[in-house]
Chain A
Amino acid sequence: MSMPFYVSPEQVMADKAEFARKGISRGKSIVAIEHQNGILMMAENSTTLSKLGEIYDRIAFAGVGKFSEFDQLRKVGVRFADTTGYQFSREDVRGRALANAFSQVMGEVFTREIKPLEIEIIVAEVGDDRYDDHKKNLLYRVKYDGFISDHPGYCVIGGNVEDVEAVLKNDYNDGMPAGEAASLARRALNAGAEHSSELDAKSLEVCLLDRNLTGRKFCRLSTEEVQGMLNA
């Protein structure tokens, strides 16, 4: 009988983490940033395959890494949110519960499967002024191993995170107007981009969670709207 080689658990985890990190850092960055009226999410993405999506009334999703994996996770999130909202009420669908559920799934895959998920995600929830305990905006980041953290103000995933974050750390202010937040997000993405030319509206995917909208707060901006926002 042949004996399998012994590999220490530390080594297995380290190898998996290394594998996942490599996949994720190859991609481009996504920025989520709070502003006066809610949250803005911006991704460098000129394809029709969206990296940003709507989950529920006040909740949006962003993913980097392998498209098929994070898009699948997004759909699982929509099913989860719609079922919860149908069963209870629309106000009972909360970002924290959803982010926790994502963290569980990603953690399970990381420990049990040979190949971990090569993705990182953001779950963003815009505040609702009607409820005392819902007023704050929330930004959660979940990593490939299920590690979850919350990030007041702004949050970056994918690509060259340090460089992008450095710009945001310097220039972010609470309660910025949406247009300023958009310009800052673009500047931050530029800092992390490999090429030196400035990102134009066509190569950006931008979504807003606008707390002033009634009902569903999520909206996707067209190229013209992005251009208008950056010019403002």
Chain B
Amino acid sequence: MNQGLLDFSVGGTVPLQGKYQGSSFFELLQLEQPHLLPDLSGWSESATDKVPHGTTVLAMRFRDGVLVAGDRLATAGHSVASRDVVKVFETDPYSVMAISGAAGPCIEMAHILSVELEHYEKIEGESLGLEGKANKLSQMIRANLPAAMQGLAVVPLFAGYDTRRKTGRLWKFDITGGRYEELEFDATGSGGLYARESLKHSWDQQLGRDDAVRASVSALTAAADEDRATGGVDLERGIYPVIKICTVDGQTDASEEEIAACYRNILEARAAGGNL
């Protein structure tokens, strides 16, 4: 156990005063337990092909909220590193983060963000607003800049349901922590371009939940078709993309059966000569 955290100034005027008094878990670690934070500043760019990279993730707004989807493949250089990695994470009951780029630091960042949001809620007695959560993530990406410059970029998508504005919202980021709100949809990673192309045709703000799931499966299938590093749907092994949906009622996952059904429809249309 970590006795260091319970230090308080004995003999000082105010007992129980640790060094850090704020409500951010990330800052608490930076100040009091820096050895627990990932430090990748010694990373060499030549080794970048040796660590797993996540490939395609996408996010879109729809009528009732926002949907985030990611395939399951991770690659290291030209090899498959993992076929069933998860790249879409629940960061709290109303928000989701999807990652592409170097998987290790990305997954760690999602982990820290989820602890951060819970920590803030417990210390302050209420949750951060959705915009506040996105802002927090952008500060964490900025702190990763030295590693990003050496090839370990973390470029997530962040999306959630804004309970104050009563709408789904999504943001994309760049490696410097730049934060850009998207009003329609976005996709990143190696197959992101193809996924965006697909969504350009199928997306509409008025899509219902089921149509949004269908559009996201089509987009991931299109990305897997054009980009060898994107996994898409793997019916043989039973590996399906992760699709998370945030609405006013919180978060739900699209079931594997539903995703499989969408994919079979695409295959049937293809077999019938459709251009899908």
Q: Which positions in A face B, CB cutoff 8 Å? A: 50, 53-55, 69, 72-73, 75-76, 78-80, 82-87, 97, 101, 104-105, 108-109, 112-113, 117, 216
Contacts of B111 in A (CB 8 A): 86
Q: Given the known A-B contacts A73-B16, A109-B16, are A82 and B115 also in contact in the complex, defined by CB atoms under 8 Å?
A: yes
Determine whether the beta carbon of B36 is less than 8 Å from that of A87: yes
The interface residues of chain A lying within 8 Å CB-to-CB of B118 are: 82, 216
| Residue in A closest to B23 when the chains form the complex, CB atoms | A75
Chain B residues with CB below 8 A from A85, complex form: 115
With A and B bound together, what is the CA distance between A80 and B3 in angstroms? 8
Q: Return 8 A-B CB contacts under 8 Å, by A number.
A: A78-B122, A79-B20, A87-B33, A101-B6, A105-B8, A108-B8, A112-B11, A113-B10
- State whether A79 and B5 are in contact (beta carbons under 8 Å apart), knowing that A86-B111, A86-B112 are contacts in the complex: yes
Q: Report B16 CB to chain A, min CB distance, Å.
A: 5
Partner of A83, one of B10, B11, B15, B29: B29
Closest partner residue, chain A, to B35 (CB atom): A87
CB contacts (< 8 Å) of A117 on chain B: these are: 15
B6 and A83 contacting across the interface, CB-CB below 8 Å = no
The residue among B2, B29, B122, B125 with the most chain A CB atoms within 10 A of its own CB is B122
Contact partner, A76, options B5, B29, B115, Cβ 8 Å: B5
Residues of chain A within 8 A of B3, CB atoms compared? 101, 104
Q: Indicate whether A84 sits within 8 Å of B2 (C-beta atoms), given known contacts A55-B122, A69-B16, A76-B16.
A: yes
Contact residue among B8, B10, B18, B36 (Cβ-Cβ distance under 8 Å from A86): B36
* Cβ < 8 Å to A, chain B residues 1-41: 1-3, 5-6, 8, 10-11, 15-16, 18, 20, 25, 28-29, 33, 36
Contact B11 A101 (CB under 8 A): no
**In the docked arrangement, what's the CA distance between A24 and B125, Å?**
24
Contact between A82 and B6, CB atoms less than 8 A apart: no
| 3 A-B pairs with the lowest CB-CB distances in the bound complex, closest first | A78-B122, A72-B16, A109-B15
- In the complex, the answer to whether B16 meets A83 with C-beta atoms within 8 Å is no
Which chain B residues border A72 with CB–CB below 8 Å?
A: 16
Q: Does the CB pair B16–A112 fall under 8 Å?
A: no
* Contact for A79 among B1, B15, B28, CB less than 8 A: B28
Chain A residues with Cβ below 8 Å from B11 are: 112-113
> Which residues on B sit within 8 Å (CB–CB) of A75?
123
Contact code string B100-138 (vs A, CB < 8 Å = 1, else 0): 000000000001100100110011010000000000000
Contact B122 A54 (CB under 8 A): yes
> Which residue of A has the minimal Cβ distance to B16?
A72
Nearest CB to that of A53 among chain B residues? B122
Supply 5 further A-B pairs (C-beta < 8 A) apart from A78-B123, A87-B2: A53-B122, A79-B5, A97-B1, A101-B1, A109-B16
